[in-house]
Amino acid sequence: MKVKIEIDRDLCKKCGICAYVCPKKVYEFNEQEGPKIVNPDLCILCDMCIMMCPDMAIDIYADAKKERIKNEF
C-alpha cells in the first residue's frame, strides 16, 4: 500500500524520536532541520513514529485519497 507521511512543522519540536524508533529508516534527522521523510515507500505502518511523537506532529494517509489511516487521537 502506498502511503503519504506528513510532518506538521508547526507542531514538531525536532526531537528526532520518529527517526530513532522507525524500524525501516523512513526518516533522517539532523538537529537544525529536524526529521526528513526520505524513504516513505519503506513504511510498514507499524505506528511507532506516531505513538512515540510527543507533539502528535505525524500523520500517515493511504494512497492519494488522503484517507487518514493513522494518528486518530
Please say if the pLDDT value at position 71 is more than 60.
Answer: no
Distance CA 67, CA 11 (A): 21
Q: State whether residue 69 is helix, strand or coil.
A: coil
What's the pLDDT tens digit per position in 24-57?
A: 999 999 999 999 999 999 999 998 999 999 999 9
pLDDT category at 3 given cuts 50, 70, 90 is confident
Whole-prediction pTM: 0.81
Which CATH number does 3-68 carry? 3.30.70.20
Q: Which three cell numbers stand for residue 8?
A: 506538521
> What are the boundaries of each domain within the chain?
3-68
- Tell me 73's DSSP state: -
Backbone angles phi, psi at 71, to 5 degrees: 60, 55
> Mean pLDDT over all residues of the chain?
88
Query: Are 12 and 5 within 8 A, CB to CB?
Result: no
- Residues 13-27 pLDDT 10s: 999 999 999 999 999
How far are the Cα atoms of 9, 25, 35, 59, 70 from residue 46, in angstroms, in the given order? Answer: 22, 12, 18, 13, 10
